[in-house]
Amino acid sequence: MLWMMRRTGLSNANNQDFQFWQQDSHPIELWSDEVFRQKMDYIHMNPVTSSFVSQREEWLYSSARDHGGQKGLLDLAVL
């Protein structure tokens, strides 16, 4: 993964070496429960789509574990 971060960082004029996070932002208004669930499902599926895990609940730091009946590593606060 380090080579990917270096390649991305060197191709971006805002960096000198490595880049881990995306630098652009596209905010989306979560105007309904349905839209919120859609975006949460998308986020939970990112590690699966990237082939880091085979099921969303396998990603250690994901709240998908809590939603799947397991205890996640982080405590969730429902607002």
pLDDT at position 47, please?
A: 93
State which amino acid sits at residue 44: H
Of 59, 63, 65, 60, the residue nearest 77 (C-alpha): 63
pLDDT for 45 equals 95
Q: What is the pLDDT of residue 39?
A: 93
Q: What is the pLDDT along the chain (79 residues), one digit of tens a residue?
A: 788 888 888 888 877 888 877 777 778 889 999 999 999 999 999 999 999 999 999 998 888 988 888 888 888 876 6
Instruction: Give the amino acid at 20.
Output: F
